[in-house]
Amino acid sequence: MRTEYTTCPLCEATCGLELTIEGDRITRVRGDRQDEFSKGFICPKGASLGQLDADPDRLSAPLVKRDGEFVEVSWEEAFEIIDSRLNAFEDRNQIAIYLGNPVVHSLAGSFYAGPLRKALRSRNVFTASTVDQMPKHVSCGHMYGSIFSIPVPDIDRTDFMLILGADPFSSNGSLWTVPDAPGRLKALQKRGGSFVVVDPRRSRTAAAADQHVPIRPGTDVFLLLALINELFASSLVSLGRLEEHVVGVEDVRALVSPFTPEAVASRCEVPADVIRSLAQRLASAERAVVYGRIGTTTVDYGTVGSWAVDVLNVLTGNLDRPGGAMFPLPAHSRRGSGTGRGFTTGRWTSRVRGYPEIMGEFPAVTLADEIETPGQGQVRALITVGGNPALSLPNSTRMEAALSSLDFMVSVDPYLNETTRHADVILPTPPPSRRVHYDLAFFNNSVRNVAKYSRAVIPLEDGRLDETDIFFRLITILSGMGPSADLDALASMQLAALKEKAGVTWEPFGETREERLLDFKLRTGAYGISLQQLLDNPHGIDLGPLCERIPEILRTPSGKIELAPPAIAADVPRVLAGLSTVEEGMVLVGRRHLRTNNSWMHNVPTLVKGKQLCTLLVNTSDARELGLTDGGQAQVSSRVGKIEVTVEVTDDISRGVVSMPHGWGHDQPGTRTTVAREHAGVNVNLLTDDLRLDPLSGTAVLNGTRVQVMPA
Ligand SMILES: Nc1nc2c(c(=O)[nH]1)N[C@H]1C(S)=C(S)[C@@H](COP(=O)(O)OP(=O)(O)OC[C@H]3O[C@@H](n4cnc5c(=O)[nH]c(N)nc54)[C@H](O)[C@@H]3O)O[C@H]1N2
Ligand SMILES: Nc1nc2c(c(=O)[nH]1)N[C@H]1C(S)=C(S)[C@@H](COP(=O)(O)OP(=O)(O)OC[C@H]3O[C@@H](n4cnc5c(=O)[nH]c(N)nc54)[C@H](O)[C@@H]3O)O[C@H]1N2
Ligand code: SF4
Ligand SMILES: [Mo]
């Protein structure tokens, strides 16, 4: 029996875990009270890491489909098949790649997904970003010049927080690495501050808030623009220190002029006086911050809404100041120069629908179009890494059909699930206990500057490959070096090139390829710490509270914050047109539960036991009118599909709105997730529409689907 410390890889909160390990098993999980950042906080998912890690349904060897049946093969054989099948395509655009959410939760994915995309040389790159946070990348790209410069609420020092379309009590924060978000929000209240939640549903976060403002789904953009309008109208604009770093303030004033509180009130279903008082509170609080998440990104006007959040922070002088929205500086990053080339999209367009490329990828909603539409460059093969597009993308019926029509598919994934059942080859990744951990992605969004690294707490069994090796093999195959190229030589070349570029003569330290790369990044990073220091500090190193980073972080050609970027300004007329849309009938939104993680943790017994989680929330009055009863079945239909789902009648959701979580629907044939099958639930993406997207970011509209609801 021994104790090991690691970081929970299951969400963005990066909690420190104290693990008890017996043999090759995690037998107990506790929050690591010595963790510099999370101080012992843990949630039910982290607590069940042992079960997840030892799930008997996890695949342990590569699977190859032969005559419709999966059989185990050796790694060599699996890679030889992949080599011969993928390299048979002369037009690389015929091979698409889809990278899912867990890719950014592993160091392997964070380091090597980029090189894999490069080696593939296909324009058909898709990721879960376009069913998630892409609007924020795009708005920040235009405003600050860099898609990764996303400011985060400095929760520990603020006095007032306005939260829209996020439920951190359930999600534990997103684009906001904030272990124990509930505790930190309660601490805000305790020190005399307050927070307001805008959400069509009385979420757990809304229930704990000082004020809950229900809103009509998809209309946050109008509310946000009206808040900006009110700041100008009541002379509440005060940029403070930022004055000299911002251009475009007067353009913003003009852009928001039609969006008065009165003009938007009925569209948002938020009274004008509530909007005015929110603007007042934002402006009068000593330190305040606005934060928007899923309910503001996966909607019709996701990019304009995401931009408006930051505009509010700028105009109230709260961007880049303690207690406002600040830019973290992770240990592996360097400081910027203050200018750059800015951000562009649309360098190429998708074949079928002509959607512009954004960050080198196309909207995930158009993956099915590219697979199904004949012609030159039609996608015939697919690589998925850590993704479950069969459940996570809109219009699943179409997505499933598209997946099953492919000539060849390879999935890097630990499970045989709804997506990977369509694969010809599945390459299983090891469980969390067998891999290293450093949050390359999430330290970018962290409410304190921290760094933490842990080695695998249980050694990888013989005959298994870690995810880095899987990435490297795929990279060498796609680069034409064949399935048995010398991976160490390749990694050394990569590192040598980096060293030369940085003028570094010392040898990076580490036992593995990714350790040496991480050591290089850390030692050339802003604080100059080394991997050895992280190894010596298993509870992490606290690098202090967030610091001012403007202008150094800016990469716009002007060297200023572009408050009214032309691309965003050009979309405002569409928003204005949408203001007069009359919406009738019910709309569907999503939600998350503390015990879930998108589609892939329903196979853990402790997380699915008890009350059914996959239900349709219906307002009490709506239920009465529609003839729906609590626990009964409803039929829900939309433009693309029809489902039956269990009803949960509640006063916690606005009239005219129904809510259903995503990631369910585990009753498909040919999968190997025993527990999830018993708690199958229903796939909400059978209803969401693949033709609706935010044009500036290519992001799917997952909240605000028009539906008809009736008793089943
Ligand atoms: N209707 C609706 N749809 C949504 C959303 C919504 O709110 N509503 N949310 C969207 C959002 S925000 C997201 S991020 C997407 C997620 O969409 P995806 O990323 O496509 O799906 P996940 O459910 O996260 O599936 C993750 C996959 O990775 C596998 N996996 C787990 N661990 C590892 C690992 O260590 N390595 C590898 N290689 N694979 C691993 C799992 O088995 C699973 O197949 O869903 C989106 N879909
Ligand atoms: N427990 C758990 N944690 C997770 C995940 C999970 O599946 N389970 N997934 C992870 C991932 S991939 C992500 S991206 C994050 C997401 O993190 P969050 O955005 O915090 O996630 P949600 O809990 O979906 O919260 C979205 C809220 O928006 C509300 N909403 C829906 N439509 C609208 C709208 O139009 N306007 C407004 N104002 N609100 C609206 C919903 O009712 C819901 O309460 O969570 C991460 N953490
Ligand atoms: S909050 Fe997130 S990181 Fe922390 S224990 Fe739960 S799942 Fe893990
Ligand atoms: Mo996400």
- Note residues around ion ligand 4 (Cβ under 5 angstroms): 132
On whether residue 232 sits in a domain, the answer given is yes
Q: Which atom of ligand 2 has the smallest separation from the CA of 205?
A: 44
Same domain for 646 and 515: no
Confidence at residue 583, expressed as pLDDT on a 0 to 100 scale: 81
User: In this structure, are residues 551 and 201 in contact, taking their beta carbons and an 8 Å threshold?
Assistant: no
Same domain for 670 and 688: yes
Same domain for 228 and 215: yes
Confidence at residue 173, expressed as pLDDT on a 0 to 100 scale: 98
Q: Widest CA span of the chain, in angstroms?
A: 74
Residues with CB under 6 Å of ligand 1 are: 100-102, 106, 128, 131-132, 294, 385-389, 392, 412-415, 417, 419, 429, 467, 590, 598-600, 662-663, 684-685, 688, 702
Please state, in angstroms and rounded to a whole number, the distance separating the CA atoms of residues 571 and 580. 16
Hey, whose CA ends up nearest to atom 6 of ligand 3? 43
Q: In the chain, count H helices and then E strands.
A: 26, 28
On whether residue 333 sits in a domain, the answer given is no
CA of residue 385 to ligand 1 center, whole Å: 10
Q: Is 28 helix (H, G, I), strand (E, B) or coil?
A: strand
Confidence at residue 301, expressed as pLDDT on a 0 to 100 scale: 98
439-490 pLDDT per residue, tens: 999 999 999 999 999 999 999 999 999 999 999 999 999 999 988 888 888 8
Please state, in angstroms and rounded to a whole number, the distance separating the CA atoms of residues 11 and 290. 22
Q: Which of 12, 199, 298, 660 to mutate to test the pocket of ligand 2 (most atoms within 8 A of CB)?
A: 199
Give percent above pLDDT 70 in the chain: 100
- CA dihedral for 531, 537, 538, 540, sign (positive or negative): negative
- Nearest Cα neighbor of 402 from 360, 429, 444, 372 is 372
Q: Is 196 helix (H, G, I), strand (E, B) or coil?
A: strand
- Nearest Cα neighbor of 698 from 98, 133, 149 is 133
Domain-terminating residue out of 552, 567, 598: 552
- CA dihedral for 307, 663, 415, 98, sign (positive or negative): negative
On whether residue 241 sits in a domain, the answer given is yes
With 0-12 CB in 10 A as exposed, 13-18 as middle and 19+ as buried, what is 428?
buried
Q: Which domain holds residue 467?
A: 58-122+360-552
On whether residue 355 sits in a domain, the answer given is no
CA of residue 182 to ligand 4 center, whole Å: 19
CA of residue 246 to ligand 4 center, whole Å: 31
CA of residue 295 to ligand 2 center, whole Å: 7
Q: Which atom of ligand 2 has the smallest separation from the CA of 170?
A: 1
Same domain for 3 and 39: yes
Return the CATH number at 49.
2.20.25.90
Same domain for 544 and 410: yes
Confidence at residue 584, expressed as pLDDT on a 0 to 100 scale: 83
* Alpha-helix residue ranges (DSSP H) falling in 480-584: 487-502, 513-523, 531-536, 566-569, 572-579
Cis peptide before 661 (omega within 30 of 0): no
- Among the bound ligands, the one closest to the CA of 296: 2
On whether residue 340 sits in a domain, the answer given is no
Please state, in angstroms and rounded to a whole number, the distance separating the CA atoms of residues 266 and 272. 9
DSSP string, 334-365: ----S--------SSB-TTT-PBPBTTB--GG
CA of residue 17 to ligand 3 center, whole Å: 9
Hey, whose CA ends up nearest to atom 46 of ligand 1? 392
Instruction: Work out the number of other CB atoms within 10 angstroms of the CB of residue 570.
Output: 10
CA of residue 77 to ligand 2 center, whole Å: 41
First to last CA, the chain: 53
Cα dist from 72 to 62, 79, 81, 424, whole Å: 6, 13, 13, 12
Same domain for 540 and 603: no
- Among the bound ligands, the one closest to the CA of 294: 2
Helix then strand then coil, % of the chain, to nearest 5 = 35, 20, 45
95-139 pLDDT per residue, tens: 999 999 999 999 999 999 999 999 999 999 999 999 999 999 999
On whether residue 351 sits in a domain, the answer given is no
- Nearest Cα neighbor of 124 from 374, 423, 352, 441 is 352
Return the CATH number at 194.
3.40.228.10
Hey, whose CA ends up nearest to atom 45 of ligand 2? 171
Hey, whose CA ends up nearest to atom 40 of ligand 1? 386
Return the CATH number at 98.
3.40.50.740
**Token pair of 67, please?**
């005559």
Cα dist from 2 to 54, 85, 419, 460, 462, whole Å: 17, 45, 37, 17, 22
Same domain for 490 and 546: yes
- Among the bound ligands, the one closest to the CA of 174: 2
Q: Which of 6, 7, 10 to mutate to test the pocket of ligand 3 (most atoms within 8 A of CB)?
A: 10
CA of residue 14 to ligand 3 center, whole Å: 6
Specify the residue for token string 């655009």. 93
Hey, whose CA ends up nearest to atom 1 of ligand 2? 594
- Among the bound ligands, the one closest to the CA of 442: 3
Predicted TM-score (pTM) of the model is 0.98
The residue ranges of the chain whose pLDDT is under 70 are none
Specify the residue for token string 């489909």. 65
Same domain for 592 and 496: no
On whether residue 348 sits in a domain, the answer given is no
CA of residue 564 to ligand 1 center, whole Å: 34
Domain-terminating residue out of 15, 38, 54: 54
Same domain for 94 and 198: no
Hey, whose CA ends up nearest to atom 11 of ligand 1? 132
Confidence at residue 483, expressed as pLDDT on a 0 to 100 scale: 87
Strand partners, 98: 126, 384
CA of residue 387 to ligand 1 center, whole Å: 5
Structural domains of the chain, count: 4
On whether residue 490 sits in a domain, the answer given is yes
Hey, whose CA ends up nearest to atom 7 of ligand 1? 590
Same domain for 284 and 144: yes
Same domain for 295 and 269: yes
Same domain for 13 and 37: yes
